[in-house]
């Protein structure tokens, strides 16, 4: 099961990086037309997505004992969504042996290093800053 989860979250991460990179190369995020950004289904989808992000974040809070890590992961998830969530899941999964039980993934274990969400946030800010300058 651990191997299957590693493959799944790797596919999520790679596909989100690819589609985000492609979308960013087509049109900057800040140039979304008002007709799209104000569309009721766009708003509904965005709300649905962020509620899912917050649900994942609540599970993360149960796993991570450090308030600093929780705060940084919150910022990373709000900024990067599934990219941050897949990164978190992969970091948890690759700390476990391939034959570990799934409860080792779901329940509190060894906390992840605080530098990981900080690095994701810094990378986002760097890429976003470079894109804004281009």
Chain center to CA of 121: 10
pLDDT in tens, 85-111: 999 999 999 999 999 988 888 888 788
45 vs 108 pLDDT, higher one:
45
pLDDT band for position 37 (cuts 50, 70, 90): confident
The angle subtended at Cα 56 by Cα 4 and Cα 36, nearest 5°, is: 105
Taking the mean position of all CA atoms in its chain, how far away is CA 108?
A: 19
Per-residue buried b or exposed e for 33-58, using 16+ beta carbons within 10 Å of the residue's own CB? eeeeeeeeeeeeeeeeeeeebeebbe
CA distance 67 to 78: 16
In the chain, pLDDT over 70 holds for what percent of residues? 98
Q: Which residue has the tokens 């087509």?
A: 26
Domain ranges of the chain: 2-25+39-133
């Amino acid at each position: 099961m651990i191997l299957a989860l590693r493959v799944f979250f790797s596919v999520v991460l790679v596909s989100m990086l690819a589609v985000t990179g492609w979308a960013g190369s087509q049109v900057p995020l800040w140039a979304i037309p008002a007709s799209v950004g104000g569309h009721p289904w766009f708003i509904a989808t965005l709300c649905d997505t962020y509620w899912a992000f917050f649900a994942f974040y609540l599970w993360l809070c149960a796993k991570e004992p450090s308030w600093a890590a929780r705060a940084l992961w919150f910022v990373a998830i709000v900024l990067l969504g599934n990219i941050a969530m897949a990164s978190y899941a992969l970091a948890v999964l690759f700390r476990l042996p391939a034959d570990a039980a799934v409860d080792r993934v779901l329940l509190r274990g060894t906390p992840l290093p605080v530098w990981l969400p900080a690095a994701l946030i810094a990378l986002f800010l760097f890429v976003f800053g470079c894109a804004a300058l281009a």
